[in-house]
Chains A and B, each alone.
Chain A
């Protein structure tokens, strides 16, 4: 779908039954409407029968609201929250192997300190770093590291948590 002017990036927190095929239903619904999924991460929550899918897509408010309604209609979807509507914290983990020879090694170590990244593997000619953070920080770190020559870079999807208990309603109900 075309990314028109008022298209915005939305982080959707989708709470689902932890049962086979749920991820396929969610992604099929979104791809079936011609949207791209920019980032995706899935894991169990503190309740093992419930999983959280954090999904980032781009669309106009009307389209996003339609996607959210269609997602809510899926039988295994418990709750969908557009995190754009609440205050939230997001994190992503990137591992990157860069060329590291001679005095570059000190420079990379310094950069790693500044970004609170970890050097998790050292080879004669490369360093592998682990960087965790929000998108801005990751982008900045990668831009600087790319100057040394990137051999390989892998990343998880973003995951996000709201600052107030929007995802916990179900738990409250269970306690009551």
Chain B
């Protein structure tokens, strides 16, 4: 008993000792855990600040380099903003125009190369769509980009394939004529011109008239800047731009208003490229070069715009970009001096069905070279891809872009024509804006329209055309010979892709 009592006393003492220890210990632990927790919270905060919807997700966008910042510029800018905003990595690559389609093709077969978004002209789309590489636009994207607002000509034909929408409406394009309002209105020039050609100097309504005016303004300093000016600037650098310029002119000669087909016979896919209408147009196309700068062969879209806005030429054939560019580019000297007009027409038109020239004024519009945004069907992150594509083609962004010249982006929506508020800071005067938009909308209203080749193999047809057109431009081949060659090559391409299916697809592409 005695022993046990002393033991008890001892344990009591132990307890007191332990208690002494435990209390500070416990508070220390509490303190530590609080410090640890608050540390962690801070970490979480900083993390969540940078954490976003698409954190650690990446897509690659391919846009061809068409010179300068045209088309690719907005994509590069917006990709950067979008990445910053969402945490996603939107990588934009801009290979040269010529190598772009090759790189796209390569990516479709090489599993190590992947593009999620293609920003391309509609003519290339046909080949991707025909081979089923493109994801149709989902409903939620349609809603997001206000698909209903898109002009019917784009919505129903150019951006759709088999009545299903695939292309997002980045750009709406028709080719127009730009001229120097000021020098055309100049009395001396008026008198001089009348004296020389026997009719009044006005914006040209025919290609013949266009040639007269070009001739008139070429080779002298008509603006007193001490520099020799030229009549025109047109795209002649080997490639799509040059070919398109040719097809745009040839439309007046060979795009019969009663025939939806233009490049090929609708029933046989037999090329019409070497018919008398195309030949005559091609000869004029070559002939006109003498009224442009000596480096005309090196000029592509971007250069033409630069030469026009820097006051080097009196007229230019270009997409709608020229308008805004003229008023808001730094190097522009032609602000408020630009006139807008529909493309010139022709006094007769070749009827391919009758194989005869019809004597009637023919003035079709050229709705070609539209830029669209397509999402790869095999993209590993379609959601992100569509998010970005929708961002790029939203009414708000495009409305801003159409007012900026260098972007290459032109009206494609009803809203682009209706609400003028965005033009306020563009440099356009309100009257100019109306004139500009009227010209475009008139072109778009035209029943007789020339569009791109939009069938699989389009780039091949264009490449072949570009190659032989270039040879003829350089005098290495007779115009007729070059066009015959193109016709021959086109048939080869058609056969290699399957004539029957090409016929069907061509019919589809012209809404026959």
- Chains A and B belong together in one complex: no
